[in-house]
Amino acid sequence: MIFTSFFKALSQIGDRRFQRVLLIGVGLTLALLVAAYALFLGLIQVLVGDTSTLPFIGEVTWLNDLLGWSSFLLMMVLSAFLMVPVASAITSMFLDEVAQAVEDRHYSGLGEARKVPLGEAFRDTVNFLGVLIGANLVALIAYVIFTPFALFIFWGLNGYLLGMEYFQLAAMRRIGRARAREMRRKNRLTIWAAGTLMAMPLSLPLVNLVIPILGAATFTHIYHAIAARSGPAPSG
């Protein structure tokens, strides 16, 4: 089921609706990271000022520049870990369009899906973003302590989070939030395994930016496969 769903999603990657959501998600993510860095630089300026006084040295003017360059390097390191989680969370606001594109092509006999209100989608995105960033920041400690297993921890953690979120997004369009959560619990191992398949390419630059789209499409197929196995699902 997992690999069949994945290859079906991969075959549709050139869909214009997929590409539109990708551009929106990546664009908003880059804007958010730049804004966060600008805010951090402004905070350094306020706290340090143009000049600082160091013990035994006296007044210096280079400390602000040093902190600025250090913060830039820190932001580059953090963005390598946070770019995909942030892009995934932001893109999740627009994944209804991806799921609809999948259903239009492969499940055209279905009725109209439930539209998730913008406010509800924004709330879910903020919650998902908080969980993703928090979990990945905490995982940085685990990466240092268990360095030989860092990649597997990354795959397992993000596979679990992405799988649970994307399945929920795909399922609740058809059966509502409560029933989607129940179905997710009953199939958590399948969903985690599929999420881990999505998480593995997260280690590859550029390729990882496509994962939110590919993941949403894959889990739309997985939802319909599970629903078909469990019996017909309601269409609204």
Q: What is the pLDDT of residues 174-189, one digit of tens each?
A: 888 889 889 999 999 9
Q: H helices within 57-117, ranges in order?
A: 63-91, 95-106
Count of domains forming the chain:
1
CA–centroid distance for 80 within its chain: 13
Has residue 105 been placed in a domain?
yes
26 Ramachandran zone, left/alpha/beta (phi>0; psi -120 to 50): alpha
What is the pLDDT at residue 147? 86
Determine the average pLDDT of the residues in 23-43.
72
Percent above pLDDT 70 for the chain? 71
Is the pLDDT confidence value at 1 over 60?
A: yes
Has residue 99 been placed in a domain?
yes
Has residue 43 been placed in a domain?
no
pLDDT-wise least confident of 13-17, 202-206, 215-219: 202-206
pLDDT-wise least confident of 4-13, 113-122, 175-184, 189-198: 113-122
Has residue 138 been placed in a domain?
yes
Has residue 116 been placed in a domain?
yes
Has residue 73 been placed in a domain?
no
95 lies in which domain range?
2-14+81-230
Is the pLDDT confidence value at 117 over 80?
A: no
Has residue 158 been placed in a domain?
yes
Of 60-64, 136-140, 164-168, 198-202, where does the model show the most confidence? Answer: 164-168
Residue 51 has phi, psi (to 5 degrees) of -135, 155
Has residue 71 been placed in a domain?
no
What is the pLDDT at residue 72? 57
Is the pLDDT confidence value at 34 over 90?
A: no
What is the pLDDT at residue 30? 72
Distance CA 122, CA 128 (A): 10
Distance CA 92, CA 171 (A): 14
The Cβ of residue 154 has, within 10 Å, a number of other Cβ atoms equal to: 19
